Amino acid sequence: MAREYHVAKYGNDKNDGTKESPFLTIAHAARLADEGDTVIVHEGEYREYVNPEHGARNELGRITYMAAEGEKAVIKGSEIVNGWEKKDGLWTVSVDNTMFGDYNPYEVEIDGDWMARPLDYKRHTGMVYFDGEPLIEASHKEECAEKEMTWCAEVLEDITVITANFCENDPNAALTEINVRQSCFVPEKTGINYITLRGFEIAHAATPWAPPTADQVGMIGPHWAKGWIIENNIIHDARCSAISLGKEISTGHHMYTRYHRKPGYNYQYEAMLAGFRMGWSKETIGSHIIRNNLIYNCGQNGVVGHMGGSYSEIYGNEIYNIGNRNEFWGHELGAIKLHALIDTQMHHNLIHDSHMGVWLDWQAQGARLSSNIFYNNTIDMKWEVTHGPHLVDNNILGSEQNFQNAAQGGAYVHNLFLGGMYKYEVYDRSTPYHLPHSTEMMGCSLVYSGDDRYYNNIFANTQKTENKRFIVGLGLYDGSPDTLEEYIQTVWDKFGKCDAAQYAQVQQPVYTAHNYYADGVPAYERDHTSVKTDTASDAKITVENGNVYLEMTIDESFADIKAEVVDTKRLDMPRITEAPFENPDGSPITVDFDLLGNKRGANPTTGPIEHIGTGRVKILIAKTKAK
């Protein structure tokens, strides 16, 4: 019979866990909670690591961990430290190493596969927080003395000495915390399925670098399982990654960094195949829901995962201040950074003020990015070494650099692009593609670039990108054919029967229709059904009192566009995968709702907002909770 366990700061782990006699720790409840049980956590701050012992066999037995209704329950991976002493303008404190157990964050370096090199010095997974604000790690005491709000540490045999520059502040008169635990809510075992985590504030974890070729440890996450729901939480200040849906250690762990025998690409491919051999499939892994969370202040990712995020749905989240602290850098930064995300759906997220918004890498077959809003990111989105079908629809991309396209076979429908994009081929990483809606490999291919569809989009040039690689509009496709038949005929005319090298010498087609090019943005040369105007759009995203607005001027010629509905039939199939654009359940797709949830008509409005009109418009598109 399902039970209800209660946890409260006035409780005791020797109690029976009832509301009248609650446990003291969530960790104790997590050792007992089994199929159908609910753990209700009452008001308070819980500085502990929660390791769920049991999962459920199916959705009917889901185990729920939740903050009590109307109460603030906080899980932290940090501890309060007092007893700071001041000398020569710097503060120091000595911490007994027994506080850290087997994992001392002040000696664990942030390093591994895909970490950029050279670093001027090593960073560590430890952190220091002053009244909730993180300090920056310095390389040594001299730098700490020069730069305000910085810290450094020295690990000795029995103690760790932390030195910090708190400017004019007294750390003993404020809330001063340090990272102690690697994670806050992650099962040690794999296969702990069907868990819900709801309504908590979760913060301060000493998470390590999490590339796709290592054990991807997050502040919270399922650790190679199925069917988790992570919802309505406030999640912040993970040293590297907040939520990990990623792979576990047995399929490889920093093999390139450790051995240097072959490129990281090879090790990543091997990790994917090892995951497949150990049961990576829709029946066993993935199918998570990540919704309505506020995620911010993380060094690497808001959400990360290789393989384990497949078949998932990520929506309604606000994610910001990710990967932009400039303490360390690698090729795995992103508010959402997923590999092998088969059929994963990401929609209605607000992603801003981060290094990379969404980076979808390897085997994104069947993935859909829909009705998201991006602004103030270094780059809004990147699709890399995947072959389609993948669908990007009804998004607003408002940063200076909108799109890095290192993929093929994508469809870009009803979006608003306010910045630049660039595309490139990838001839040195042949990457798998799959049977539709399956992890089973169908084949492997180079990325020739192109074979893309651009229907019913708005392109404007208001961000004035200074990166020469990023081109506004679709002029970067000039020279490409606009039909598959022309592409194939060109290949045959030039080479006759041929192989990969010859196919690579002819640009793949691009399919375009019913786009709107403002600000004199160059159109694809064969885009004959679209409207081009020199009228200044002055398009921008503004934030006022927590309200996010789109403002822009739309020329009267916009009304001349006779757009058509975009659906599975019209999108056809990418050349390489020969798989239709479908929903994850195999049903046809019709792009018949806009960003704001309005139903589109038989002649839909170009861009992400139906019936936007002409002239100067100002439309409320989202609300932000960002501080």
DSSP per residue, 548-559:
EEEEEEE-GGGG
Which amino acid is it at 146?
A: E
> Are 33 and 48 found together in one domain?
yes
In the predicted model, is pLDDT for residue 503 greater than 70?
A: yes
529 within some domain? no
583 within some domain? no
In the predicted model, is pLDDT for residue 118 greater than 70?
A: no
pLDDT averaged over the chain? 96
CATH (domain of 128):
2.60.40.1180
Q: Which helix (H) or strand (E) holds 489?
A: helix 484-495
CB 160 within 8 A of CB 62: no
Best CA proximity match to 449, nearest among 421, 468, 473, 472: 421
Q: What is the pLDDT of residue 350?
A: 98
| pLDDT, tens digit, 9 for 90 and up, residues 424-453 | 999 999 999 999 999 999 999 999 999 999
The domain boundary, picked from 76, 92, 117, lies at 76
> Are 19 and 152 found together in one domain?
no
Q: Which helix (H) or strand (E) holds 426?
A: strand 426-434
Angle at 360 between CA 77 and CA 226, to 5 degrees: 55
> Are 335 and 253 found together in one domain?
yes
| pLDDT, tens digit, 9 for 90 and up, residues 206-227 | 999 999 999 999 999 999 999 9
> Are 270 and 385 found together in one domain?
yes
In the predicted model, is pLDDT for residue 326 greater than 90?
A: no
| pLDDT, tens digit, 9 for 90 and up, residues 273-310 | 999 999 999 999 999 999 999 999 999 999 999 999 99
443 within some domain? yes
* Residue numbers of the domain that contains 324: 195-508
Mean pLDDT of 548-559: 97
> Are 374 and 465 found together in one domain?
yes
> Are 66 and 88 found together in one domain?
no
Query: Residues of the chain with pLDDT > 70: what percent?
Result: 99
Between the alpha carbon of residue 312 and those of residues 59, 318, 364, 368, the distances in Å are: 15, 17, 12, 11
What tokens does 585 get? 């359940």
Q: What is the distance, to the nearest Å, from the Cα of residue 229 to the centroid of all Cα atoms in its chain?
A: 16
The domain boundary, picked from 45, 60, 76, lies at 76
What one-character-per-residue DSSP string does 137-151 give? EPSSHHHHHHSSSEE
| pLDDT, tens digit, 9 for 90 and up, residues 450-502 | 999 999 999 998 877 777 788 899 999 999 999 999 999 999 999 887 777 78
Mean pLDDT of 332-341: 97
Mean pLDDT of 156-160: 97
Q: What is the pLDDT of residue 613?
A: 95
Q: How many CB atoms lie within 10 A of CB 598?
A: 13
Q: Given pLDDT bands bounded at 50, 70 and 90, which one contains residue 108? A: very high
What tokens does 562 get? 């006779």
In the predicted model, is pLDDT for residue 117 greater than 70?
A: no
88 within some domain? yes
In the predicted model, is pLDDT for residue 322 greater than 70?
A: yes
Q: Which residues of 167-193 are buried (b: 16+ CB within 10 A; e: fewer)?
A: eebebeeeebbbbbbbbbbbbeebebb
> Are 210 and 343 found together in one domain?
yes
Which amino acid is it at 347?
A: H
579 within some domain? no
570 within some domain? no
CB 113 within 8 A of CB 214: yes
Q: Helices then strands (H, E): number in the chain?
A: 7, 47
Which amino acid is it at 348?
A: H
Which amino acid is it at 484?
A: L
Measured in degrees and rounded to the nearest 5, phi and psi for residue 348 equal 55, 40
In the predicted model, is pLDDT for residue 53 greater than 90?
A: yes
Mean pLDDT of 543-559: 97
Of the listed ranges 115-119, 259-263, 283-287, 343-347, the least confidently predicted one is: 115-119
Q: How many CA atoms lie within 13 A of 144 on its CB side?
A: 23
> Are 409 and 465 found together in one domain?
yes
d(CA 430, CA 470): 25
In what side-by-side order are the strands of the sheet with 128-130? 78-80, 176-179, 128-130, 133-134
Q: What is the pLDDT of residue 332?
A: 94
In the predicted model, is pLDDT for residue 120 greater than 70?
A: no
> Are 66 and 87 found together in one domain?
no
Best CA proximity match to 34, nearest among 57, 17, 16: 57
CB 265 within 8 A of CB 429: yes
596 within some domain? no
Q: What is the pLDDT of residue 501?
A: 79
d(CA 276, CA 282): 11
> Three-state DSSP class for 500?
helix
Q: Given pLDDT bands bounded at 50, 70 and 90, which one contains residue 37? A: very high
Q: What is the pLDDT of residue 469?
A: 83
CB 389 within 8 A of CB 367: no
> Are 250 and 389 found together in one domain?
yes
CATH (domain of 237):
2.160.20.10
> Are 133 and 280 found together in one domain?
no
Q: Given pLDDT bands bounded at 50, 70 and 90, which one contains residue 318? A: very high
Give the count of domains, the chain.
3
Q: Given pLDDT bands bounded at 50, 70 and 90, which one contains residue 119? A: low
What tokens does 574 get? 């990418």
In the predicted model, is pLDDT for residue 532 greater than 90?
A: yes
d(CA 416, CA 563): 15
The domain boundary, picked from 36, 55, 76, lies at 76
Between the alpha carbon of residue 148 and those of residues 137, 138, 165, 238, 274, the distances in Å are: 11, 10, 5, 22, 47
615 within some domain? no
Q: What is the pLDDT of residue 285?
A: 97
> Are 141 and 269 found together in one domain?
no
Mean pLDDT of 581-600: 98
